[in-house]
Amino acid sequence: MSQAAEGYNVAVVGATGAVGQKMIETLEDRNFPVKTLTLLASKRSAGKKVSYKGQEVEIQEALPESFEGIDIALFSAGGSISKQLAPEAVKRGAVVIDNTSAFRMDENVPLVVPEVNEEDIKNHNGIIANPNCSTIQMVAALQPIRKAYGLNRVIVSTYQAVSGSGTVAVDELKAQSKDFLEGKEMKAEILPVKGDKNHYPIAFNALPQIDLFQDNGYTFEEMKMINETKKIMHLPELPVAATCVRLPFFTSHAESIYIEVENDGVSVEQIKALFQDAPGVVLEDDPASQKYPTPLSAEGKRDVFVGRIRRDLDNSKGFHMWVVSDNLLKGAAWNSVQIAERIVANNWLK
């Protein structure tokens, strides 16, 4: 019996988090060939139970020895946990798919969005990095255009959901919204960045800071979008600019993207046609019937949705578009499970 038929020993690290929960759900929804499922988290969460395919699975404390016998480990418990435990998992023979920023820019670690650079997986040395949520949906949408007409430039402004900052941020938005509507003072303790000095209300507001500021005045989130896009697309010289903004909604990131293609004379209709059979990308674009994706309409779906495609009025190679996807699914859990599926399908476990 092949391993594929028998199934794989899968571990999820960070099983109680917003993304970890979605990873477990996605493994189930996709009917991933799981032989055993090991759920790992901090000592604090050990003993809690999570449902998988109708069975209760007990969460264990994540330790180096937890990875004995594991084939595939999906990590989403923060960068420091990944830095500490991913090498331990690899040492014990597991392939790690890591959803943190710990290894993304490591040149020995492939950074993968299957619709864009699936082939990079096979060069892995035990760890494959899952890109930043806002990067994934952008490159998935840009790849068909780049393949057909080339790509000279990207400028993106994001509209990002609070769940990207975890369940504590989701709870904060709920509590603040309720307090505001009841005329009470809003308490801000989590956003924009839990570990930063100042916190501001997100309810009925917009915060132009996601992750910490870097020395160049960009936030780390913005630099992730810039650097990861170049790495995933194998376009190290592509000019990419990003402004990342946190907004008061729970799920899905939206992006207003301006691009310039290489070819001249490309029409909006040609761009739209590319998405007819682009893997993982769905065109929702009809101004006449007010059809365009929104965070609420994309929630719970694995696809990346593209709308509002229109030509720049001054630059014949310029196009604007609006890209939306569920940040916990394609932006995190689904892209990770999808990498696992491609590993299994291509026999890239090693």
Residues lying near a second copy in the complex (CB under 8 A) are found at 153, 155, 157, 159, 174, 177-178, 181, 192, 196-198, 200-201, 204-209, 213, 216-218, 226, 239-241, 243, 245, 247-250, 254, 256, 258, 268, 287-290, 292, 294-297, 307-315, 318, 320, 322
Q: What is the 3-state secondary structure (H, E, C) of 233-293?
A: HCCCCCCEEEECCECCCCCCEEEEEEEECCCCCCCHHHHHHHCCCCCCEEECCEHHHCECC
Taking the least distance from each CB to a second copy, the nearer of 2 and 216 is 216
DSSP state of 347: T
Minimum CB separation of residue 131 from a second copy in Å reads 19
Alpha-carbon span 132 to 129, nearest angstrom:
9
Nearer of residues 124 and 224 to a second copy, judged by Cβ:
224
Residue 280: phi, psi to the nearest 5?
75, 0
Q: What is the spatial distance between Cα 277 and Cα 275, in angstroms, rounded to a whole number? A: 5
Handedness of CA 150, 298, 240, 230 (dihedral sign): negative
The answer to whether 231 and 223 have CB atoms below 8 angstroms apart is: no
Give min distance, CB of 119 to a second copy, in A: 27
19 appears as a binding residue in the annotation = yes
Choose, from 124, 199, 234, 253, the residue flagged as catalytic.
253
Report in angstroms how near the CB of residue 7 gets to a second copy at its nearest: 38
Binding residue per annotation — 134?
no
Catalytic-residue membership of 253? yes
107 burial level (CB within 10 Å; 0-12, 13-18, 19+): exposed
342 in a labelled binding site = no
Q: How far is the CB of 242 from a second copy (least distance, A)?
A: 9
244 has catalytic annotation: no
Nearest CB to a second copy, comparing residues 53 and 187: 187
Q: Binding site, residues?
A: 16-19, 44-45, 104, 160, 163-164, 246, 327
Active centre residues (catalytic): 133, 253
